[in-house]
Homo-oligomer: A and B are copies of this chain.
Amino acid sequence: MSGRNQTAKASAATMLSGIALKKFQRPCTRPLRTAAMLAITRVSTAAERPLRLFGPDARVDGEAAVFSACDRLRRALPHFVVRELAPMISWLERERRMDSKLPKPMPTEAGIVAFHGRCEAFYPADAVNASVAQQRQWYDALCAAFDASSPAGLTRQDELLAGRIRVRRYRPAQIATETQVFYIHGGGFVVGSLDSHDAICAELAHGTGAEFVAIEYRLAPEHIWPAALEDCYAVLEALLAEGRPLVVAGDSAGGNLAAGVALKAKAVGLSGIVGQVLIYPLLGGDLASGSFVEMAEAPGLSTADVAYYRGILQAPPDELFAHPLKAGDFAGLPPAYISAAHFDPLRDDARQYAARLIEAGVDVTFREEPQMIHAWLRARHMSPGAREGFAHLVHGLARLVGSA
């Protein structure tokens, strides 16, 4: 690549950082914000600069500046950036026209609608300005607010694995299988902890009669790619060294990491994973198609949020373990239980990964919860659809660990 191109690309990234970091006065609707976020993501990708422009405090709140900046870039930069920008500007303009006509997807089940309202009300009005540490505390508290009491007789033990990584072991009162479950929590690679998913792990362990091991992996933005995957893989190796069969499981960003460690284990020839459970996982699909468009403004998670979380992790686009849908060969991966939520921009990531696994001959049980939104696991005690989805999840996991 020529020096001139590199300079131009760096300029593009810098200018867009300026846009993203500035807070604009005129508010815009979420679809337009989504479109603007995606446009910036694409330009940043074209400029081969990771998305440093997206920090927790750097949301884009106005599209006018994006148009203006695109226009400046179009005049100032060489052809390779113009080529990327032209379709984006057309798209932004179409989005602006369509704005009032766009559907606002929303399930009809009262329980999950109430759950969403309760989540939205949890954060203070100025939450977006809070520190990352504060966001994590709120997230743990939010998660705990939806939990039921711990299953009778279940015990927990915290320890370190691989010398430095905190894990929590769950031992249910009735153990029905020697297979262990390695659980990787969600939270967009940014929030979540041993506490945030504590009750979920406890109830799944109780329901399946399997011992669970949950991990506290390093989070972004302090630790970018591949820190989280490295932590998960180190724990995977430690658990497999115990000589018992293992199922890897995770939700959302944790589903991404679970699929990632399964792919890496296959690539390096590490055996012993007998199943993978991916719950509304983030798998690297195209943000400009399918459910990322249809469900761009879904309650609980927007496509702009997905772009934000992807950006903050800074995983290079060609890292297959970070973007499992881009892996070319799925043959020989462990049998899977894959759960999608219908009202979730990540819905098609789940559908497509399930389809790719099956085409490669992998056993898959796929379920799409028809009334659910992203992160519905937390709604299992207040929504009938979430309760049913959780029962299916317990059953699917029990099949993989061999206790059903």
Listed in ascending order, the chain A residues whose CB lies under 8 Å from chain B are: 340, 342, 347, 351-352, 354-356, 358-359, 361-368, 395, 399
Contact = CB atoms under 8 A, between A and B. Distances in A.
B352 A363 contact: no
A142 to B, nearest CB: 29
A399 B351 CA distance: 21
Contacts of A364: 354, 358, 364-366
Contacts of A351: 358-359, 361
B354 A358 contact: yes
Copies in the complex: 2
Q: Which 9 pairs show the lowest CB-CB distances between chains A and B?
A: A355-B355, A365-B365, A354-B358, A358-B366, A355-B358, A363-B367, A364-B366, A355-B359, A361-B368
A207 B340 CA distance: 30
A358 B359 CA distance: 11
A241 to B, nearest CB: 27
Contacts of A359: 351-352, 355
A351 B360 CA distance: 8
7 contacts: A355-B358, A358-B358, A358-B364, A362-B368, A363-B368, A365-B365, A395-B399
Contacts of A366: 358, 363-366
A356 B359 CA distance: 10
Nearest to A352: B359
A365 B396 CA distance: 10
A367 B340 CA distance: 19
A354 B338 CA distance: 14
A347 B360 CA distance: 11
A157 B300 CA distance: 54
Nearest to A335: B367
Contacts of A352: 359
A361 B340 CA distance: 9
- Residue of A352, A354, A362, A399 with most partner-chain B CB within 10 A: A354
